[in-house]
Amino acid sequence: MAKKTIIVSDLSGREVDSQEAVQIIVRYSDARRGQIVLDACADEVEDMAQKGRREGRRGRRPRAAAS
């Protein structure tokens, strides 16, 4: 049996193609408030993404790239 996952934008309510899906995670500095996760379309969050900053990936680099 096959399963199909349909992603619906939490901002606009429309169906989003899996290639254009974006997950927005809001973390508060006060850990007791937890975090909020939103599903959205890449077009809907473009202006928010331009105002933010790009954060590097975490962890060690692969052995071939580190040399």
In tens, the pLDDT along 14-37 reads 999 989 999 999 999 988 899 999
| DSSP H or E stretch at residue 40 | strand 35-41
Buried b (16+ CB within 10 A) or exposed e, 38-54: eebbeebbeeeeeeeee
* Domain assignments of the chain as residue spans, ordered by start: 1-48
pTM of the model: 0.68
How sure is the predictor about 49, in pLDDT bands with cuts at 50, 70 and 90?
confident
pLDDT at residue 66 in the model: 54
Residue 31 DSSP symbol: G
